[in-house]
Amino acid sequence: MNEHDIAEGFASTFAGLNWDAQRLSIYAKTATDVERALQSGKRTLEDFKALISPAAEPYLEQIAQQSAFLTRQRFGHTLGMYLPLYLSNLCANVCSYCGFSMDNRIKRKTLTLDEVEAECRAIKTMGFDSILLVTGEHETKVGMDYFRQVLPVVKRYFSYLAMEVQPLQSHDYAELKALGLDAVMVYQETYHPVTYARHHLRGKKADFGYRLQTPDRLARAGIDKIGLGALIGLEDWRTDSLYVAAHLEYLERHYWQSRYSISFPRLRPCAGNTEIKSIMEDKHLVQLICAYRLFNPSVELSLSTRESPWLRDNLLPLGVTALSAASSTQPGGYANPEPALEQFSISDERSVVEVAKTVKQAGFEVVWKDWDRRYSGV
Ligand code: SF4
């Protein structure tokens, strides 16, 4: 298959979904639809729409109870811990909402291999064994050549290695998998093409279709876990979340060998300062997380330090399966903090010890390691 042919893969499913019709359908759901969804054994996308609709708000308590039950049934009383390691804030794209955007005049930095190693040592002493490597999207300076050098260094320290970098080709993912890559997060930001174009003004990220096909390329390369999500705030959050659910359903049906996770990043203040079109209140984030769980009992749901300590603590029992803690969004920020380089400000600034203590007090086992490198084939 030609990787640039967006008529295949998820793009053909996507082409059959009309944004306005889907949006209207979500907002037209009734209490009867919600009650049917709550009683359903295997939930469909129509049920998911009902669960995220305004009509479901009076049922939040019931939705949350079912979500908590399904999560404990599938994942037990555990919460996985991971940490993002920012390797570079160089970026060749202009995105309206991001502090790393090429047009922002900030100090740029890409970690040398020695600096990467210093970060790994600092993170390892914090207890983490699962790492998420993050970069801006700069293919020439932070591309495959860089990744080929960095992955073997990082893999010496961590059992599970995830990346959130620019979309790559299938053969690149396959090569990185051989170097220890386990998971890739690639968020579509918004599934509304016109809004997408409004916020992705220059660079390769402006290619909506290429990004949309990335999870297909990842699955074909045999990547163990693929992370999906929309940046909440760019467009109507309910409709974007429906597209995420449709994407997940498509991927699970076609590539059952991979696992999937969903994140729900809400727009945070940054050096760019973009207008937030769709405000998501805290109660809506709870509704969305629980709706994802009812729709798909086995998908991993990940919550970052973008959210406040209060909200994160209250969400612990309801549906999430993985948490980051004590995150720094600046390259070199663990070994040598320097706030001027950060991508966005975090909200939960507690130490990892404090977060782990809260998780344990809530009755959960903190899981630092749930994977062994011998299963990564390296
Ligand atoms: S969102 Fe990603 S691609 Fe866009 S400017 Fe930020 S780092 Fe670059």
CA of 205 to the centre of ligand 1 (A): 8
Calculate mean pLDDT across residues 165-180. Answer: 97
Residue nearest to atom 4 of ligand 1 (CA): 95
Q: Is the pLDDT of residue 376 over 70?
A: no
Name the residue of 88, 91, 267 whose CB sits within 8 Å of the most ligand 1 atoms, as the mutation to test its pocket: 91
Ligand 1 close to Cβ of residue 101 (< 6 A): yes
Ligand 1 close to Cβ of residue 137 (< 6 A): yes
Which ligand 1 atom sits closest to the C-alpha of 200? 4
CA distance 301 to 298: 9
Ligand 1 close to Cβ of residue 303 (< 6 A): no
Per-residue confidence (pLDDT) for residue 276, from 0 to 100? 79
pLDDT digit string, tens, across residues 46-59: 999 999 999 999 99
Q: Is the pLDDT of residue 330 over 60?
A: yes
Residue nearest to atom 1 of ligand 1 (CA): 98
For residues 18-38, b (16+ Cβ closer than 10 Å) or e, as one string?
A: ebeebbebbeebeeebbeebb
CA of 214 to the centre of ligand 1 (A): 16
CA of 95 to the centre of ligand 1 (A): 6
Residues contacting residue 364 through CB under 8 Å, at least 6 positions apart? 77, 78, 79, 316, 317
pLDDT digit string, tens, across residues 133-161: 999 999 999 999 999 999 999 999 999 99
Give the closest residue to 14 by CA, choosing from 186, 229, 256, 246: 246
Ligand 1 close to Cβ of residue 98 (< 6 A): yes
pLDDT interval class at 5 (50, 70, 90): very low
Q: Is the pLDDT of residue 210 over 50?
A: yes
Cα distances (Å, whole numbers) of residue 342 to 19, 83, 170, 234, 268: 34, 15, 30, 21, 12
* 3-state SS assignment for residue 341: helix
* 3-state SS assignment for residue 192: coil
CA of 98 to the centre of ligand 1 (A): 6
CA distance 13 to 24: 19
CA of 328 to the centre of ligand 1 (A): 16
- List the single range of 117-126, 236-245, 335-344 with lowest mean pLDDT: 335-344
Residue 336 phi, psi dihedral angles, 5° rounding: -150, 80
**N- to C-terminal Cα separation, the chain:** 28
CA of 265 to the centre of ligand 1 (A): 14
Which ligand 1 atom sits closest to the C-alpha of 136? 7
Counting every residue written for the chain, the total comes to 378
Residue nearest to atom 5 of ligand 1 (CA): 101
Q: Is the pLDDT of residue 6 over 60?
A: no
CA of 332 to the centre of ligand 1 (A): 18
Per-residue confidence (pLDDT) for residue 334, from 0 to 100? 84
CA of 188 to the centre of ligand 1 (A): 12
Residues contacting residue 246 through CB under 8 Å, at least 6 positions apart? 13, 14, 17, 45
Query: How many contiguous H segments (helices) and E segments (strands) does the chain have?
Result: 15, 11
Residue nearest to atom 7 of ligand 1 (CA): 136
Per-residue confidence (pLDDT) for residue 344, from 0 to 100? 59
Name the residue of 88, 89, 94, 101 whose CB sits within 8 Å of the most ligand 1 atoms, as the mutation to test its pocket: 101
For residues 323-338, b (16+ Cβ closer than 10 Å) or e, as one string?
A: bbbbbbbbbbbbbeee
Q: How many C-alpha atoms does 338 have within 13 Å on its Cβ side?
A: 11
Per-residue confidence (pLDDT) for residue 373, from 0 to 100? 65
pLDDT interval class at 7 (50, 70, 90): very low
Share of the chain above pLDDT 70, in %: 92
For residues 194-214, b (16+ Cβ closer than 10 Å) or e, as one string?
A: ebbeebbeebebbebebbbbb
Q: What is the DSSP letter of 213?
A: T
Per-residue confidence (pLDDT) for residue 206, from 0 to 100? 97
Domains of the chain: 10-376 (3.20.20.70)
Ligand 1 close to Cβ of residue 136 (< 6 A): yes
- Site of tokens 């190693």: 117
Which ligand 1 atom sits closest to the C-alpha of 92? 8
199 dihedral zone (left: phi>0; alpha: psi -120 to 50; beta): alpha
* 3-state SS assignment for residue 88: strand
**Joined tokens for residue 32:** 């009867």
Neighbours of 224 (CB within 10 A): 19
Name the residue of 100, 109, 110, 344 whose CB sits within 8 Å of the most ligand 1 atoms, as the mutation to test its pocket: 100
- List the single range of 17-31, 57-71, 204-218, 267-281 with lowest mean pLDDT: 267-281
Ligand 1 close to Cβ of residue 131 (< 6 A): no
CA distance 191 to 349: 31
R_g over Cα of the chain: 20
